[in-house]
């Protein structure tokens, strides 16, 4: 009996000898900056042009505070350069020690994402130059909430423009000694019941652009103008 010698198998044509990278895998996808994502990395909701959005961006831990003269001047210049670009508009903002609040408009979700990405890059580059450092500035992707009613818009305006006072009331190392918080867009806001005059504002580059949506121009006012004494709920 003759033993047959087994011949090595020839690779079949069209069959790759290595594992492909397609398909869903555990651990795949964009990683958060840090041990845990601060914002969900799921698909974002669609945005219609008639709806404003409330956006929050949080800084990495350990960076200098933003509510100081040099940092705020740097931020204000970055806002002025990126507040109205390619269907994206920055209409209101608040600067806190470690995060930023924006009220923005955009023609769609793509314009919103690109506008915020461009603004975040401007801010990061400007702050890194100021701080003489390089690297990441923001802790994670931005958080946004679409505002679909005039009352939601009014509440968001009240929250953003009064957020510094809220933090001060909570004892969070924030002081707002003036009637309005000068680290916000309040000096350019025309929706207060009180008459506010801010000296030197004419010499500053305007860091925001005019709103276009009905809800941010007219709609929210149907629920009443804001007061400089308004403070968002503390807690």
Whether the pLDDT of residue 129 is over 70: the answer is: yes
Cα 55–Cα 59–Cα 64 angle in degrees, nearest 5: 135
pTM > 0.95: no
Q: 162-176 pLDDT, tens per residue?
A: 999 988 887 777 888
Question: Of 94 and 46, which is predicted with more confidence?
Answer: 94
pLDDT band for 141, please (50, 70, 90 cuts).
Answer: confident
Domain 53-223, classified CATH 3.30.70.1290, yes or no:
yes
Q: Which of 89, 86, 91, 95 is nearest to 57 (CA)?
A: 95
Q: 62-84 pLDDT, tens per residue?
A: 999 999 999 999 999 999 999 99
pLDDT at 9: 52
Return the exposure string of 27-44: e unless at least 16 CB atoms fall within 10 Å of the residue's CB, then b: eeeeeeeeeeeebeeeeb
pLDDT at 5: 52
Whether the pLDDT of residue 104 is over 50: the answer is: yes
pLDDT at 169: 81
Domain range annotation of the chain? 53-223
6: number of CA atoms within 13 Å, CB side?
A: 2
Whether the pLDDT of residue 215 is over 80: the answer is: yes
Q: 142-165 pLDDT, tens per residue?
A: 999 999 999 999 999 999 999 999
Whether the pLDDT of residue 106 is over 90: the answer is: yes
The rounded distance, in Å, linking the Cα atoms of 218 and 212 is 10
pLDDT at 175: 84
**What is the share, in percent, of the chain residues with pLDDT greater than 90?**
66
148: number of CA atoms within 13 Å, CB side?
A: 6
**What is the share, in percent, of the chain residues with pLDDT greater than 70?**
80
Q: 34-47 pLDDT, tens per residue?
A: 444 444 444 556 78
Find the range with the poorest average confidence among 37-51, 112-126, 220-234: 37-51
């Amino acid at each position: 009996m003759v033993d047959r010698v087994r011949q090595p198998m020839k690779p079949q044509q069209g069959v790759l000898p290595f594992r492909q990278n397609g398909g869903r895998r555990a651990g795949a996808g964009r990683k958060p900056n840090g041990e845990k994502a601060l914002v969900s990395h799921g698909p974002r909701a669609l945005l219609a042009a008639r709806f404003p959005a409330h956006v929050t961006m949080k800084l990495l831990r350990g960076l200098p505070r933003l509510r100081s003269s040099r940092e705020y001047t740097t931020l204000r210049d970055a806002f002025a350069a990126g507040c109205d670009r390619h269907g994206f508009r920055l209409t209101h903002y608040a600067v806190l020690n470690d995060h930023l609040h924006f009220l923005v408009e955009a023609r769609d979700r793509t314009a919103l994402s690109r506008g915020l990405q461009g603004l975040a890059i401007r801010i990061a580059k400007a702050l890194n130059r100021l701080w003489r450092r390089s690297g990441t500035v923001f802790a994670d992707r931005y958080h946004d909430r679409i505002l679909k009613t005039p009352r939601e818009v009014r509440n968001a305006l009240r929250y953003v423009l009064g957020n510094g006072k809220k933090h001060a009331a909570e004892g969070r190392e924030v002081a707002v000694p003036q009637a309005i918080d000068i680290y916000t867009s309040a000096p350019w806001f025309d929706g207060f019941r009180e008459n506010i005059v801010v000296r030197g504002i004419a010499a500053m580059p305007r860091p925001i652009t005019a709103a276009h949506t009905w809800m941010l121009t007219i709609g929210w006012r149907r629920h009443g103008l804001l007061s400089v004494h308004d403070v968002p709920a503390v807690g």
